[in-house]
Amino acid sequence: MPSNTRPDQQHFVAPIDETPLVAIDSVKADGKPSNLWRDAWADVRKRPMFWISAALILLVVIVALFPGWFTQVAPNNDCQLSNSNGGPTAGHPLGFTKQGCDIYSRIIHGTSTSLSVGLIVTFLIAFLGIVFGAISGFYGGWLDAVLSRIGDIFFSIPYILAAVVVMSVLSRYANVWVISLAIGAFAWPATARVLRAEILRVKNADFVMAATALGVSRFRILLRHVLPNSIAPVIVITTISLASAIVAEATLSFLGVGLPTSTMSWGNDISAAQHDLRTAPQTLILPSIALSVTVLSFIMLGEVVRDALDPKARAQR
């Protein structure tokens, strides 16, 4: 073997016996297999923002499920007009609304409304988005053309404006389900678009071809191979849409086309307090804080999940 080094040249490359190849290419054969979800969990676990948002969300869920643990004061029945816009007193830590109701109790009891709307809308968006996105991405052709155009039409109407129209017409039937349907029916195309794009990318992967070669049916390939590998962006977008749905409900209630005033809702309370901003700002600001903190916790969770599931976002951190 001819030597390429001049006699006086020092080693630029280490001799083979100094760096055993095993050390470079070593594979931990007994280690757990890594995948997107395990990596994501390892990443998420290290971030304080995840634990803060998880703790806040847990608190919100507990408050929504068991309001009785937090307050004994009835939000609607114990109201006395003599307390109108009053400050804090013993047993009523946050003072009173214009109608003389306990603000703290109303905030506690309004939690479940916001959370229910958020959850129902999110399920609706995920369901419609996955069905439309998966079918149009995976099967393509005329089905894709038709479904994508339908999505375009729904996408072209800002969903709060659409919900304003729906809720104006259905104002007599307004409740948590109707308002969630009104928001969700127009908010799904974004999810469908994201999933469709991801499926277009995944469906040409080798493992899909392998499954086809093994004779797995098309539907089963979609369900077992393509969908699990393209669902990550959908999870990110649905976490964030939970926050948007809560804001949408509050905005509609604020505009007066949301939930009936008899329903406990932060949006309704903020709307009712708007005319007393000068004299009793706390009646408006306290429910606003509850609303914003809840939204913030879901937004933060969405951020963390996005960073964990999207390597590009992780690189930019």
Binding footprint of other proteins on the chain (CB under 8 A): 149-150, 152-154, 156-158, 160-162, 164-166, 168-172, 243, 247, 250-251, 254-257, 270, 274, 277-278, 281, 284-285, 288, 291-293, 295-296, 299-300, 303, 316-317
> Could you tell me the two tokens for 201?
């990318």
E strand or H helix that includes residue 195: helix 189-202
Of 77, 185, 81, 76, nearest to 123 by C-alpha is 185
Min dist. Cβ of residue 222 to other proteins (A): 26
Report the alpha-carbon distance of residue 3 to residue 222 in Å, rounded. Answer: 57
Min dist. Cβ of residue 41 to other proteins (A): 22
Report the alpha-carbon distance of residue 107 to residue 264 in Å, rounded. Answer: 8
Q: Are 78 and 102 in contact (CB under 8 A)?
A: yes
Comparison of 138 and 254: residue with beta carbon closer to other proteins: 254
Min dist. Cβ of residue 257 to other proteins (A): 6
Q: How close are the terminal C-alpha atoms of the chain, in Å?
A: 49
Min dist. Cβ of residue 295 to other proteins (A): 4
Report the alpha-carbon distance of residue 274 to residue 52 in Å, rounded. Answer: 31
Comparison of 143 and 277: residue with beta carbon closer to other proteins: 277
Min dist. Cβ of residue 168 to other proteins (A): 4
Comparison of 216 and 296: residue with beta carbon closer to other proteins: 296
Q: Are 95 and 87 in contact (CB under 8 A)?
A: yes
Q: Are 250 and 267 in contact (CB under 8 A)?
A: yes
Comparison of 63 and 270: residue with beta carbon closer to other proteins: 270
Comparison of 71 and 114: residue with beta carbon closer to other proteins: 114
